[in-house]
Amino acid sequence: MRRFKEFIIEKIILLSGFACILFVILIFFFLAKDGLALFKFSSPWNFLFGTLWSPLSEPPQIGILPLFLGSLIVTIGAAVISVPLGMACAIFIAEIAPKWMREILKAGVELLAAIPSIVIGFIGMTMLSPIVKHIFHLPTGLTALTGSIALAFMAIPTMVSIMEDSISSVPRIYKEGSLALGATHWQTIYRVIIPAASSGIVAAIMLGIGRVIGETMAVMMLTGNASVMPHTILAPVRTMTATIAAEMGETVRGSEHYFALFAIGLVLFGITFLINFLADMARHRKNK
Amino acid sequence: MVDKIVVADLSIDYGGVHALRHVNLAIKDKEILGVIGPANSGKTSFLRALNRLNDLDLSCRMTGSIKLNGKDINRDMDAEEVRKKVTMVFALPIPLPMSIFDNVAYGPRRHGLNDKKKLKEIVEKSLRAAFLWDEVKDRLDSSGMKLSGGQQQRLCIARTLAVEPEVILYDEPCSGLDPISTAKVEEAMRELKIRYTQILVTNNVKQAARVGDRVAFFLMGELVEIDETRKLFTTPRDKRTNDYLTGRFG
């Protein structure tokens, strides 16, 4: 009887373990089934490198390059803002701040992570976009830059908490060893602690960027939603995620447009999968 | 001989817990001072006060004075300056996570030396002085963490020698080593006596007897006795020293 119980419990745990993988595989097939159906209508080349996204025209123009570039610009912008800020923040929390301040800052970072993206979008729309408009003398404040800034603040908490963990877990003996040789605190941080924590830092950056690429709500509110080829970061753009969210409700099931949105989902899936994979590689590099 | 370090009325506590009480002693130039005592006797706190590593612990309070070459290390010198002159070899022989060469060159580079040729010279000289050169000369670019325990500890010694210190502190440098590696480290210490003042904190009483010129015995934060090694081990003045050495407690 007891053996039987063991057996059942083991199998249930096994099943739960496989369930995660199963879900990923099912989602992938679901996306692939409708996404790949697009290629009955148009070629992958036209889909990936077409410069015009106009699915309602006749015949429909399905080229995701403007959307892909939109996502890329917003993501790079967000990374440029969030990586230095996040790193500085993590170093300060882990190495420099006194203990009482460390606790407050950590709680603050976690709170930042808990803010819903719609709220960030809301604040961005009412506060940030007028500022961007004013500073750069633009006709509209809803630009790629506005989206980048808002997304940077959504990526920072993820980055900071993982970076801070990996910096704090650098053995104390490295730090003392370096200080005992007469190196200054900053030299120690820069030459010993950051290199020793580098795999965790790279993983944190990757995960932060993954979050930025997948984000939908805030970018939809802030980037201006113009599906044209972007030429500068101060132009309105539209990201891949925002496109799906905005247009899914209006498509006819089974139309070329419908399949195109699924194909975008497939591309996004591929990108986030790749980023997570790279983050994992970075994290486990040290263990080999 | 001249006094290298003079410690006057040194007391240390960590957040109200006393670690060291009213210690007075002088360390002579180019001697090896063995420091023995049971756990919690304050010997590591004493060592960490000498190169201001106690500064890192914010709960640590210190009174009294420590003078190096007549200069007060807490008032007249920067922490970095003190640590360059008084370097430390730790209990766990952990090289920095970089190549053997970079480990040894770390200190000099941080102090502004970038000349490749000079760095090479210093690295070779330091590794030779730590009796490691012959074992690693063909693989200076491989990671310092791939060496054996004894080699790692000698690498740590080489790395401290590279900054050309005046005093070397050892915090139980052989606690994780086998007897043969220990013998090599001790041999290195004896050779280094020509140029450096060395202070060795150890739990191994016999080690203090083997390498120390003089030995200090700490107990519960107090300096009980300091004397020539032979005198302290054969005719200790204090009964507590005798009890510790004969294994009656501790």
Q: What are the DSSP calls for B113-139, one per residue?
A: ---HHHHHHHHHHHHHHTT-HHHHGGG
Domain assignment of residue B135, yes or no: yes
C-alpha distance from A125 to closest chain B C-alpha (Å)? 45
One DSSP character per residue, B167-235 reads EEEEESTTTTS-HHHHHHHHHHHHHHTTT-EEEEE-S-HHHHHHH-SEEEEEETTEEEEEEEHHHHHHS
Number of domains into which chain B is organized: 1
Domain with residue B157: its CATH number is: 3.40.50.300
Question: Is the predicted pLDDT of residue B204 greater than 80, yes or no?
Answer: yes
Structure tokens at A209: 């960027």
For B102, the 3-state DSSP assignment is helix
What mean pLDDT do residues A261-271 have? 91
pLDDT at A205: 92
Q: DSSP labels for A57-103?
A: SSS-EE--HHHHHHHHHHHHHHHHHHHHHHHHHHHIIIIIS-HHHHH
B173 inside domain:
yes
Query: Residue B82's closest CA among B54, B57, B41, B115?
Result: B54
Separation of alpha carbons A69 and A236, rounded Å: 12
User: What integer pLDDT is reported at residue B154 of this predicted model?
Assistant: 87
pLDDT at position A57 over 90: no
- The pLDDT, as a whole number, for residue A84 is 95
Please list, in sequence order, all residues whose beta carbon lies within 8 angstroms of the beta carbon of residue A190, skipping any fewer than 6 positions away: none
Give the nearest partner residue to B90 out of A99, A176, A196, using CB atoms.
Answer: A176
3-state secondary structure (DSSP) of residue B76: coil
Query: A20 — contact with chain B (CB < 8 Å)?
Result: no
pLDDT of residue B1: 64
Query: Could you tell me the two tokens for A140?
Result: 């509209």
pLDDT in tens, B108-139: 998 888 888 999 999 999 998 888 898 898 99
Taking residues B56-76, report their average pLDDT: 88
pLDDT for position B16: 81
Residue B8 inside a domain? The answer is yes
- Cβ distance of B163 and A182 shorter than 8 Å: yes
Tell me the pLDDT tens digit for each residue of A177-208: 888 888 899 999 999 999 989 888 998 999 89
Q: Do A180 and B90 touch (CB under 8 A)?
A: yes
Provide the chain A residues 132-191 that lie in CB contact (below 8 A) with chain B: 171, 173-174, 176-184, 187, 191
Task: Say if B51 falls within a structural domain.
Answer: yes
Chain A CB contacts of B83 under 8 Å are: 179-182
Q: Given an 8 Å threshold on Cβ–Cβ distance, is A176 in contact with B87?
A: no
Residue B196: inside a domain: yes
Q: Which residue of B has its CA nearest to A198?
A: B97
Q: How far apart are CA A72 and CA A273, in angstroms?
A: 16
Mean pLDDT of B190-196: 89
CA distance B121 to A160: 42
**Residues near B52 by beta carbon (within 8 Å), at least 6 away in sequence:** B73, B74, B79, B82, B83
Contact A177 B163 (CB under 8 A): no
pLDDT per residue over B14-31, tens digit each? 888 888 989 999 999 999
Confidence of residue B185 (pLDDT cuts 50, 70, 90): confident
| Distance separating alpha carbons of residues B120 and B104, to the nearest angstrom | 10
Cβ atoms < 10 Å from Cβ of B82: 23
- Per-residue tokens: A253: 């099931």
Model pLDDT, residue A104: 94
Question: What are the residues whose beta carbons fall under 8 Å from the beta carbon of B61, sequence distance 6 or more?
Answer: B12, B13, B14
For the purposes of burial, counting CB atoms within 10 Å of the CB of A226, is it exposed (0-12), middle (13-18) or buried (19 or more)?
middle
| pLDDT given for residue A81 in this prediction | 95
- Give yes or no for A99 touching B (CB within 8 A): yes
Could you tell me which residue, A288 or B152, shows the higher pLDDT?
A: B152
Give residue B22's domain range.
3-245
- Average confidence (pLDDT) over B76-87: 90
Question: Would the CB atoms of B58 and A99 count as touching at under 8 Å?
Answer: yes
Q: Is residue A288 very low, low, confident or very high in pLDDT (cuts 50, 70, 90)?
A: very low
d(CA A201, CA B189): 40
Q: Are the C-beta atoms of B95 and B147 separated by less than 8 Å? A: yes
pLDDT score recorded for residue B153 = 86
Section B48-65 average pLDDT: 87
pLDDT at res. B249? 65
Picking from A98, A173, A187, the nearest residue to B94 by CB comes out as A173
What is the helix (H) or strand (E) element at residue B36, kind and residue range? strand B32-36
Which percentage of chain A shows pLDDT scores above 70? 99
Contact B110 A184 (CB under 8 A): yes
Nearest by CB to A173, which of B92, B159, B163? Answer: B92
DSSP string, chain A: -HHHHHHHHHHHHHHHHHHHHHHHHHHHHHHHHHHHGGGGTS-HHHHHH-S-EETTSSS-EE--HHHHHHHHHHHHHHHHHHHHHHHHHHHIIIIIS-HHHHHHHHHHHHHHHHS-HHHHHHHIIIIIHHHHHHHHT-S-S-SHHHHHHHHHHHHHHHHHHHHHHHHHTS-HHHHHHHHHTT--HHHHIIIIIHHHTHHHHHHHHHHHHHHHHH--HHHHHHSB---S---STTS-B--HHHHHHHHGGGSPTTSHHHHHHHHHHHHHHHHHHHHHHHHHHHHHHTT-
What local confidence, expressed as pLDDT, does residue B184 receive?
84
Asked whether this complex has an ipTM greater than 0.95, the answer is: no
Where do the domains of chain A lie? 49-285
| Mean of all residue pLDDT scores within chain A | 89
Question: A133 with A140: CB under 8 angstroms?
Answer: yes
Check B94 against A192: CB less than 8 A apart. no
Residue A166 has pLDDT above 60, yes or no: yes
In a domain, B250, yes or no: no
Number of A/B CB contacts below 8 angstroms equals 64
At residue A173, what is the residue type?
I
Question: What's the gap between Cα A29 and its chain centre?
Answer: 23
| Domain at A49-285: CATH architecture | Orthogonal Bundle (1.10)
Alpha-carbon distance B220 to nearest alpha carbon in chain A (angstroms): 25
Distance from CA of A202 to the nearest CA of B (A): 17
B85-to-B158, B159, B161, B167 alpha-carbon distances in Å? 15, 13, 10, 6
**pLDDT score at B130:** 84
Residue labelled with tokens 């220990």: B182
Instruction: Look at residue A286 and tell me whether its pLDDT is greater than 60.
Output: no
Tell me which chain A residues have a C-beta less than 8 angstroms from the C-beta of B90. 173, 176-177, 180
pLDDT at A147: 92
The dihedrals phi and psi of A238, each to the nearest 5 degrees, come to -135, 135
Cα–Cα distance between A147 and A124 in angstroms, integer? 8
The span from the CA of B64 to the CA of B74, in Å, is 10
Closest residue in A to B54 (Cα) is A176
Q: State the best of B68, B83, B114 to mutate against chain A, taking most chain A CBs within 10 Å.
A: B83
Question: B11 pLDDT band (50/70/90 cuts)?
Answer: very high
